[in-house]
Amino acid sequence: MNGDVQPRSRRRILVIANETVEGKVLREAIGFRARNDAEVLVIAPALNSRLRYWCSDEDKAREAAEARLANCLDRLDEAGIHAAGRIGDANPLQAIADNLRMFSADELIIATHPEARSHWLARNLVDKARRRFALPVLHVVVDTERQREYIAGYGAALEWSASAA
């Protein structure tokens, strides 16, 4: 053996999503990007209130993240997409970094709420992830209140409405 690194034959996609993890457009985007030949890892951050965080009370946050993640993985499986999942750090940028150490992704998919109610977008998560990780990033927006989902940056052309389904 000459020590050369052998190329991977399958794409690796890292997905990070909070309550948006159950969005239909997110599942469709994962399926499209995976093209039936990718390893997919879904990260559900254990979101917590500031008080619970400072008190080191993570149990309920982890339980909620585990439930969201299990539901997402079930739905992906029903759509023919095999994926693994992990609970991540409450800070989504840290959760991405932590998991990239163990899962060398070719691409990152970030699912958020719309700008008006997204803490992640208020902290510029998508832009920070693009700069920090030098990976292609697909941003999926899931608006559960208005039942609208879309790929950010592509406008109405890729919008999906639950009322149209």
Tell whether 4 is covered by a domain. Answer: no
Query: Which CATH number goes with the domain that contains 151?
Result: 3.40.50
CA angle 142/143/149 to nearest 5° reads 50
Tell whether 36 is covered by a domain. Answer: yes
Tell whether 55 is covered by a domain. Answer: yes
> Total structural domains in the chain?
1
Q: Which of 89, 115, 113 is nearest to 101 (CA)?
A: 89
Asked if 26 contacts 18 with a C-beta cutoff of 8 angstroms, the reply is: no
Asked if 59 contacts 71 with a C-beta cutoff of 8 angstroms, the reply is: no
Query: Tokens representing 134?
Result: 């030098």
Tell whether 3 is covered by a domain. Answer: no
pLDDT in tens, the chain (165 residues): 444 444 556 889 999 988 777 788 888 899 888 887 889 999 999 876 444 444 455 677 888 889 989 988 998 898 888 899 999 998 999 999 999 999 999 999 999 988 888 888 889 999 999 999 989 999 999 887 777 777 887 544 344 433 344
Domain residue limits at 151:
11-104+127-164
